[in-house]
Amino acid sequence: MAPYEAFYGRKCRNLACWSDISDSLVLGPDLIHDTVEQVKVIQATMKVAQDRQKSYEDLRRKPISYAVGDKLRRYHIDPSHVIPIESVAIEPNLTVEERPVQILDRQNRALRRKVIPMVKVLWKSQK
């Protein structure tokens, strides 16, 4: 049973799957009971699929062990992008004012039907 059919109680009506509206239409407590049963079937099917994927992943998973003295790095930082704190002037309201000093380079990037001008700027707060 398709998820759309399970949730809405009728078949999907798009061009790929056009069905008649007058299919089985159930009203009252039977509708609630059927819906609950369908949801249980869908949940069980999804649980089986998740367990299968978990078992595949568990076969490839390796235990992680750390020893004293291991260096753990979370991020790779390029030294050219590190700005010394002393060179940044922080205002009393904890903002940093950056002003353009000089235009270093101009370049036009050509796309299919458009040209985008790009400008490389030297800012005052950075070296």
- DSSP result, the chain: --HHHHHHSS---BTTB---TTS----THHHHHHHHHHHHHHHHHHHHHHHHHHHHHHHH-------TT----S----GGG---GGGS-B-TTS-B---EEEEEEEEEEE-SS-EEEEEEEEETT--
Give the pTM: 0.32
The per-residue pLDDT for range 30-89, each reduced to its tens digit, is 778 888 888 899 999 999 999 999 988 888 887 777 788 777 666 655 666 666 666 666
In this predicted structure, what is the pLDDT of residue 51? 92
Across the chain, mean pLDDT equals: 77
What distances in angstroms separate CA 71 from CA 65, 74, 96, 107, 114, one per listed residue? 13, 10, 33, 42, 48
In this predicted structure, what is the pLDDT of residue 19? 47
75 or 120: which carries more pLDDT confidence? 120
Q: What percent of the chain has pLDDT over 90?
A: 22
pLDDT category at 112 given cuts 50, 70, 90 is very high
